[in-house]
Amino acid sequence: METGTAVGFSPLLLFFFVFFTVLFPFSIPFTPTDNYLVHCGSTTNATVDNRVFVGDSSKPGSLFLSEGRSVPVADANPPRNSTVLYRTARVFRTASSYRFRVGKTGLHFVRLHFFPFVDRNFDLTVATFSVSVNGFSLLRGFRAEVAVIKEFILNVGEEMLELRFVPAGGSSGFGFVNALEVFSAPDDLILDDGARKITASSTQEFRNLSSQVFQTVHRINVGGSKLTPFNDTLWRTWIPDDDFLVLKSAAKRAVATDPPNYQSGGATKEDAPDNVYMTAQEMNRDNVTAFARFNITWDFPVESDPGGVRYLVRLHFCDIISQALNQLYFDVYINEYSAYSNVDLSVLTYHVLASPYYMDFVVDSDSSGILRISVGPSEISNPGKVNALLNGAEIIRIVSSVGESDGSKKKNLWVIIGSLVGSIAAFVIIVVGILLCMRCGKARQKPSAASESTAYTQLRVLGGSSHSKLSIGRALASPGANGCLNLRIPFVDVQSATSNFDKNLIIGSGGFGMVYKGVLKDGTKVAVKRGVPGSRQGLPEFQTEITVLSKIRHLHLVSLIGYCEEQSEMILVYEYMEKGSLKHHLYGSRYPPLSWKQRLEICIGAARGLHYLHTGSAQGIIHRDIKSTNILLDENYVSKVADFGLSRSGPCLDETHVSTGVKGSFGYLDPEYFRRQQLTDKSDVYSFGVVLFEVLCARPAVDPMLAREQVNLAECAMQWQKKGMLSEIIDPHLAGDISASSLKKYGDTAEKCLAEYGMDRPSMGDVLWNLEYALQLHEDGRQREPQEDSDADVADLPTKGTVRKVQPQKAETSEGDYVAASSDVSTTQVFSQLLTSEGR
């Protein structure tokens, strides 16, 4: 009976175990499977930082020693404050080995402690020797003249780890070691995806990082104090950065009082302890103007090898300096090469402030013997928020890949491990997916503000962040905030949908790659955006697009149907927009001209989509590239804004060739953004104003074929609008269709959008409202003159000059988008308070 109960419960226990270990890995302290700590040359054990180092001269310890001739030695006059570990050593007279059984293959730390002292028979400072692990050479001709700890991180594929010391210098030579640590590292400490290889000319994905052998060179707690093994779950030592700062006065310490907000998928406590993320250096702006731009730079001594030495540079970030999201944009340089531009931690950490994140870079050293790291403000920083920060840095030498000779054997093992991990992950995803669907179902039944926000937070836990930490599969096979969809699409399905990427199905191309038309198995028509296969260059952007888009569902935003990242492919699958871009319906094609009503409805839809991006549940997304080719139409001429995933998510796809600061299209670009490089949602409003004129006049934003004063549509249309003669330049097809009052309202709205200064421009909510009014004027067939707008019967409708005081009392019903209205606050406030539900 009792047994039956136990059996009945175990799946549940297993479920909880899996659920908590996978979803909340950071809540459980890391315990290494293998954990060998050896107090060399000692007969007794020593406890250091709560860890027991076993004396290797006592019975159990000597089990590790397998061969060779070695003797224990002791320091007769140890320095008073030296740790007990360093008072003894083992001296190797001949090649000798320690052997440790590996309980779990995978990443391991190997730490060797050398504290040379002079014994009666041996002067350890002159010992010269080599150290290898399982035949792979870690140290060659090594001599420890001063106390030093050598740390290596490597993948162990065998069941035994053999650490071999080989003295140099013939029979009189000897080697030594004071203490040893061999322990399992978390599997995801170093991942194969996401590292960027930085060179003068390009940034590329660096693959297969985890199969390398690493040697730690510097581990820095930037802006913080020294952290000892006692402070670190992997018993690492972090030292302060002050000695490496090139210009101390450029940097200022920042210290957080609260612990960082760890998120699943982001950096964990194992990546760096709390204290690393709670301290940083930021730009010291004490004696400079709000606009001053400069870098904070650190120089780290590294080996200068003419052949070049390769380093993994891991930078740790946690935005502890911003008061709110989306305030900090900065650039990262390594060896003066651009490594990452326009870092927006808010986006990278899923809109959670003070959430730890790290980035991996791979660089080759030059002959200077210095590795230089700089952070500085991005071109798109807002004045008053010009800043940059760094919380931690690890400079780790890539010693070499695990010998090509026996690589194949190891690879096989990794394949097995990989598939095992894969199937476990798949199981977990299914379980979690079911759970989330149940949860989502509940949240949907009652879409109150509270339940929606809780659902969002709970779900977001899955949608982690750190691009290197997180395999997209794990994060995104699960739903975004709004849908219980599995967004992952197998590559074979994408292939068959596009007849194996048939050239005839290409419907466009962009920075990302080609766009194909396709049909999924279930008959859904899709647009398939395929990154250049194998390049992996836009990986972070790709991930951001997926995570941002999967959270956004709105009738007027083009939906992401799925993605595929198999076989080094990066593919995004969107809903197919039958009627193509708005531009094609305005000029230069054989489509029949759109009626004024259709045009207004298309603009209203796009405005609604943009308004949602700016203020809806996705919040704070600035499109940055609004133009008539990015407004798409479905078969019913319903307009949807497209291409917004990359909007402000960090660097451009092609960083080296495009000025990443000012992104956007000629003719639509907000002059203020261009001038001051300050990005706000009002830049989208400006571009939208250009689109409004484009729709009205049916001509391109820039038409070089025209007379000089007419080339730029925004300038030209504004002149006519200001003269009150806009009707002179409207699309001839609209003549007779468009009423004077509707045109007046529309023209005024577009004019306001194009105001010189962002603060003078209306919000998208205001624009939306005014366009709806223009439509209403059109529908009502009222031919009233604008000044009649102040008549009593329309007093509650917007009038010229009071655009910002509109009272949106109408509750939207069409899509159920909006559920609030108020009568005595400005539109801007009202709209930001609107509760925006899914949109469909």
Ligand X SMILES: *[C@@H]1O[C@H](CO)[C@@H](O)[C@H](O)[C@H]1NC(C)=O
List contacts with ligand X (CB under 6 A): 227-228, 230-231, 275, 293-295, 333, 336, 374, 376
At closest approach, how far in Å is the CB of 288 from ligand X?
12
**293 or 804, CB closer to ligand X?**
293
E strand segments, 246-388: 251-255, 279-283, 296-301, 310-317, 330-334, 337-343, 357-364, 370-377
Closest contact distance (angstroms) between CB of 440 and ligand X is 40
Output the smallest distance, CB 150 to ligand X, in A: 21
**H helices of 188-314, where?**
274-278
From 241, 344, 625, 643, active-site residue: 625
Task: Answer yes or no: are the C-beta atoms of 126 and 169 closer than 8 Å.
Answer: no
CB of 79 to ligand X, least distance (A): 18
User: Is 92 or 333 the residue whose CB approaches ligand X more closely?
Assistant: 333
Segment (H or E) for 475: helix 472-476
Inter-residue contact 264 to 24 (CB < 8 Å): yes
Q: Which residue lies nearer to ligand X by CB, 26 or 136?
A: 26
Q: 387 with 328: CB under 8 angstroms?
A: yes
Q: Determine which helix (DSSP H) or strand (DSSP E) holds 681, and give its type and residue range.
A: helix 681-697
Min CB(618)–ligand X separation in Å: 31
Q: Per-residue b/e over 297-322, b at no fewer than 16 CB within 10 Å?
A: bbbbebeeeeeebbbbbbbbbbbbbb
Distance CA 67, CA 181 (A): 19
Annotate 165-191 with b (16+ C-beta within 10 A) or e (fewer): bbbeeeeebbbbbbbbbbbbbbebbbb
- Indicate the residue among 275 and 547 with the shorter CB distance to ligand X: 275
Please choose, from the candidates 251, 91, 112, the residue with its C-alpha nearest in 3D space to the C-alpha of residue 175: 91
Does residue 625 carry a catalytic annotation? yes
Q: Say whether 37 sits in a helix, a strand or coil.
A: strand
Residue number with CB closer to ligand X (83 or 97): 83
d(CA 672, CA 621): 18
Find the shortest distance in angstroms from Cβ 287 to ligand X: 16
Tell me whether strands 175-177 and 88-92 are parallel, antiparallel or unpaired: antiparallel
Name which of 661 and 839 has its Cβ closer to ligand X: 661
Distance in Å, CB of 379 to ligand X, minimum: 9
- Classified as helix, coil or strand, 830 is helix
User: Based on CB atoms, which residue is closest to ligand X, 200 or 707?
Assistant: 200
- Give the closest residue to 804 by CA, choosing from 774, 834, 762: 762
Q: How far is the CB of 272 from ligand X (least distance, A)?
A: 12
- Give the sign of the dihedral formed by CA 771, CA 772, CA 776, CA 778: positive
The residue (of 157 and 224) whose beta carbon lies closer to ligand X is 224
Q: Distance between CA atoms of 257 and 275, rounded to whole angstroms?
A: 10
Q: At closest approach, how far in Å is the CB of 336 from ligand X?
A: 4
Q: How far apart are CA 77 and CA 320, in angstroms?
A: 47
Phi, psi of 230 (to 5 degrees): -65, -30
Which residue's CB is nearer to ligand X, number 53 or number 831?
A: 53
Instruction: Give residue 194's identity as a one-letter amino acid code.
Output: G
Beta bridge pairs of residue 111: 151, 181
d(CA 435, CA 603): 40
Residues classed as catalytic: 625
